[in-house]
Amino acid sequence: MSAKPSDVSTVIIVNKNQQGTKTLQIKTKHISRFRQYVLGVLGVIVCLSGTIVYLHKQNAKQELEKQQLMAQIVSLKGQIPVAKADDDKTSAQSYIQAIEDKLQKINGYLRKRGVPGFTNKSVGGSGNKDAVKLTDKEKYSMYDEYLSRLAKTVAYTPLGYPRVSSFTSFFGYRNDPFENGSAEFHPGIDFKGQKGDAVKCTANGTVVYAGWFGGYGNCVRIQHINSLETLYGHLSRIDVKVGQKVEMGDVVGRVGSTGHSTGTHLHYEVRKNGVPINPVKYLSINN
């Protein structure tokens, strides 16, 4: 449907350099709104210009922060002493990277057991007078020996929780739950749990017992290094066999209430040379 004559206005375009003129027909309503259109276009241009200026400032700010950060990193690297040529030509930077790799590996072991990580402030970084007297080579040797030994032993030392839950009973003397008025020695820690909950071994080792073990009911015992052994009692199910090699975090059984037990829970022991010791000492590396 064509527009009515009153709805259309004719615009005459005069070309100064040529004789002819041109006409352009535009709807009248557009001409009446021309000012609004111009203001709208100008508004868009202003917004775009403002956005460009803002982004430019932000980029400049980020670039400045980046340069400042790089300068700080360069400054810190410059403060790290570099080993001399006769020190096997090993730079402090490469040694620190080796430390970080070892710490990452160790903390990986700890996280699998619910144990928080640790820092190395107590080794060569305590600021004591003896540490100040050490040469760079001696400090490197101390760190390397300490971390290498720690990385090896952490994997085979029972640390952390066989299951992450609250305690229902601690190590030491307590009231006998079966005989009121009498006391008994409790050689481990009891963890709350539901029947069938997974029980995980707390260190690498070898299964030396997997079966019924008197009052412990279904029981698993694992031999570790340094004459250490862990025991997992009252299990509803055993998932390992004697002679089997296990690693920290492996499931060795399921929570139950077998043997001399008043309810579903996990009984956990740490033994040294066959003698039960307080497992609390092994729940955290800082104990």
Same domain, 199 and 93: no
Tell me, yes or no, whether 57 lies in a domain: no
Q: In this structure, what are the phi and psi dihedrals at residue 48, rounded to the nearest 5 degrees? A: -65, -40
Same domain, 138 and 185: no
Tell me, yes or no, whether 147 lies in a domain: yes
Tell me, yes or no, whether 174 lies in a domain: yes
Same domain, 263 and 193: yes
Tokens 């004789």, residue?
Answer: 19
User: Is residue 210 predicted with pLDDT exceeding 90?
Assistant: yes
Tell me, yes or no, whether 52 lies in a domain: no
What pLDDT does 270 receive? 94
Same domain, 187 and 134: no
- State whether residue 226 is helix, strand or coil: coil
CATH code of the domain covering residue 237: 2.70.70.10
**The domain boundary residue, chosen from 131, 154, 177:** 154
**The domain boundary residue, chosen from 154, 181, 199:** 154
User: Is residue 72 predicted with pLDDT exceeding 90?
Assistant: no
Same domain, 147 and 173: no
Q: Give me the number of domains the chain comprises.
A: 3
Can you tell me the distance from the alpha carbon of 272 to that of 274, in angstroms, rounded to the nearest whole number? 5
Q: In 52-178, where do the E strands start and end?
A: 167-169, 172-175
Residues 30-56 have pLDDT tens digits of 666 667 777 888 888 888 888 787 767
Largest CA distance in the chain: 124
Same domain, 88 and 172: no
Same domain, 194 and 258: yes
Can you tell me the distance from the alpha carbon of 276 to that of 222, in angstroms, rounded to the nearest whole number? 14
Same domain, 187 and 252: yes
Residues 93-114 have pLDDT tens digits of 676 667 767 777 777 766 665 6
- According to DSSP, residue 2 is labeled P
Can you tell me the distance from the alpha carbon of 245 to that of 227, in angstroms, rounded to the nearest whole number? 16
Same domain, 272 and 173: yes
Same domain, 148 and 172: no
Same domain, 103 and 208: no
pLDDT averaged over the chain?
75
What pLDDT does 71 receive? 58
**Higher pLDDT, residue 57 or 181:** 57
Tell me, yes or no, whether 220 lies in a domain: yes
Instruction: Look at residues 263, 266, 260 and name the one whose alpha carbon lies nearest to residue 188.
Output: 266
What is the β-pairing status of strands 245-246 and 172-175? unpaired
What pLDDT does 1 receive? 47
With b for 16 or more beta-carbon neighbours within 10 A and e for fewer, the 133-146 pattern comes to: eeebeebbeebeeb
Give me the percent of the chain exceeding a pLDDT of 90: 25
DSSP 177-199: SSSTT-EEEE-SEEEE--TT-EE
**The domain boundary residue, chosen from 99, 119, 154:** 154
State the pTM of this model: 0.54
Same domain, 126 and 196: no
Tell me, yes or no, whether 122 lies in a domain: yes
Tell me, yes or no, whether 130 lies in a domain: yes
Domain that holds residue 10: 5-32
User: Is residue 80 predicted with pLDDT exceeding 50?
Assistant: no
Q: How far is CA 77 from the centre of its chain?
A: 26
User: Is residue 87 predicted with pLDDT exceeding 60?
Assistant: no
What pLDDT does 282 receive? 80
Tell me, yes or no, whether 65 lies in a domain: no
120 neighbors 141 (Cβ within 8 angstroms): no
Q: In this structure, what are the phi and psi dihedrals at residue 137, rounded to the nearest 5 degrees? A: -65, -40
Residue 147 to residues 78, 122, 125, 144, 264, Cα–Cα distance (Å): 25, 12, 14, 5, 40
**Mean pLDDT value across residues 122-141:** 59
